[in-house]
Amino acid sequence: MKTTLFLTIVTLVPGLFLMQASGNSSVAVVDFERAVTEVPGGRAAIEKLNTFSNEQMTAITKKQQEAEALASRLRTQDRALSEATRTQLNNDLRTAEASLQTMTDDAQKKLAEMRQQLLAPVEQKTAMAVSAYANEHSVKIVLDASALQSGLLYVHDTADITTEIIRRIATDLENHRKHASLQPDKLLNRDWLKLDLYRLQANVR
């Protein structure tokens, strides 16, 4: 994996040198994982996902322990058990194993749905902010530091746009909130205008 990553970076190097030699710095780096975590809504989404995951893991672990206890009893006490007891334990074990599988499948499905609902919009918003920044600054390549990890040997402060992306999204959200807060007043003004027109028409009549 590291060899493949190294070869990928080496492949990019000539192009990067060419861009810098031409006087046009067209490469930036963003820690996408950090950006998603720190932008408004990102941390809350991750906390909800982690809470749900931990709750489900606790329940699944408990059910797994129940199944293991039944299996252990059947294994260690087999000769001492009556036929009826052995049959009942086997049935209980199959039920526990089936329940464990169902719980696991349901948890994975629900977690995927929650991730799509909570985190995917934040990831999309972050990706759009990166794309907008790249277009504005004529950046041709944006590398994801969270994916490359140790593959990036050196990154100058001016090339890391993570903080700027976080700031942009926070600013856009704040502007959106301010704009939204003005909407009720505008609607109220329209209602008063309609009311005044109605009164005016009534007086004319």
List the CATH number of the domain containing 173.
Answer: 3.30.910.20
Asked if pLDDT for residue 4 goes beyond 50, the answer is no
* 26: in domain: yes
* 112: in domain: yes
Asked if pLDDT for residue 120 goes beyond 50, the answer is yes
Can you state the percent helix, strand and coil of the chain, rounding each to 5? 85, 5, 10
Question: Per-residue pLDDT tens for 57-70?
Answer: 999 999 999 999 99
Region at 141 (left for phi over 0; alpha for psi -120 to 50; beta for the rest):
beta
Asked if pLDDT for residue 50 goes beyond 90, the answer is yes
C-alpha to C-alpha distance for 182 and 24, rounded to whole angstroms: 43
Asked if pLDDT for residue 30 goes beyond 50, the answer is yes
DSSP 8-state secondary structure symbol assigned to residue 203? H
* 105: in domain: yes
Per the DSSP assignment, residues forming a β-bridge with 27 are 141
> What integer pLDDT is reported at residue 157 of this predicted model?
86
C-alpha to C-alpha distance for 173 and 179, rounded to whole angstroms: 10
Asked if pLDDT for residue 145 goes beyond 50, the answer is yes
> What integer pLDDT is reported at residue 197 of this predicted model?
41
Residue among 55, 37, 53, 35 at smallest CA distance from 45: 37
Amino acid at site 172: D
* 183: in domain: no
25: three-class secondary structure by DSSP: coil
* 185: in domain: no
* 100: in domain: yes
* 186: in domain: no
Average pLDDT over residues 128-138: 94
Compute the residue count for the chain: 205
Asked if pLDDT for residue 22 goes beyond 90, the answer is no
pLDDT greater at residue 15 or residue 69? 69
* 152: in domain: yes
pLDDT greater at residue 72 or residue 199? 72
* Domain, as residue range, for 153: 2-178
Domain count, the chain: 1
